[in-house]
Structure 1
Amino acid sequence: MKIVLNGESRAVRAETLAELLQECGFSGRVATAVNEDFVPSSLRASHKIKDGDRVEVVAPMQGG
């Protein structure tokens, strides 16, 4: 299926948000939103991804 991940169109096989993160190589602590709705980490394994979904993944950055 095709989704938009962080503003870029991408074809993926994942069916859930957790699978998508693994497929796309995200690890560690990240924040996720699907179609502008925040998805907590506890719900990622059950959150189904649909064709055309807009997914944002944000990782914290150190700095100062």
Structure 2
Amino acid sequence: MTYIVNGEALESGATTLSDLLLALEYEGEWLATALNGELVHRQDRGACRLSEGDRIEILSPMQGG
């Protein structure tokens, strides 16, 4: 399926938000995720099913200043 991740098209076989994060090698409890503009809490990512064309935003904290 094709998803829009952080503004860019991405082909992936992931079917849940949790699977997609694993495939993209995102780790840590400090990630913020949104699906089609709606916040998805960490504990809900495994049950959050993805569909063709979904828009996913993944934000992680950055160090520096």
TM-score, structure 2 as length reference: 0.93
The aligned residue for residue 3 of structure 2 is: 3
Aligned to 2:56, what secondary structure does the other structure show? strand
The aligned residue for residue 62 of structure 1 is: 63
**TM-align CA RMSD:** 0.9
TM-score, structure 1 as length reference: 0.94
Unaligned runs of 5+ in 1: none
The aligned residue for residue 24 of structure 2 is: 24
Specify which structure has the higher proportion of helix: 2
Q: How many angstroms does 1:62 deviate by?
A: 2.5
Whole-Å separation in 2 of the counterparts to 1:2 and 1:25: 18
- The one-letter amino acid paired with 2:19 is E
The aligned residue for residue 15 of structure 1 is: 15
Percent identity of equivalent pairs: 39
Kindly report structure 1 stretches of 4+ aligned residues shifted beyond 2 Å.
none
- Residues 26-49 of structure 1 deviation map (CA, whole Å, 9 limit, x = unaligned): 111210000010000010000001
Whole-Å separation in 1 of the counterparts to 2:52 and 2:24: 16
Unaligned runs of 5+ in 2: none
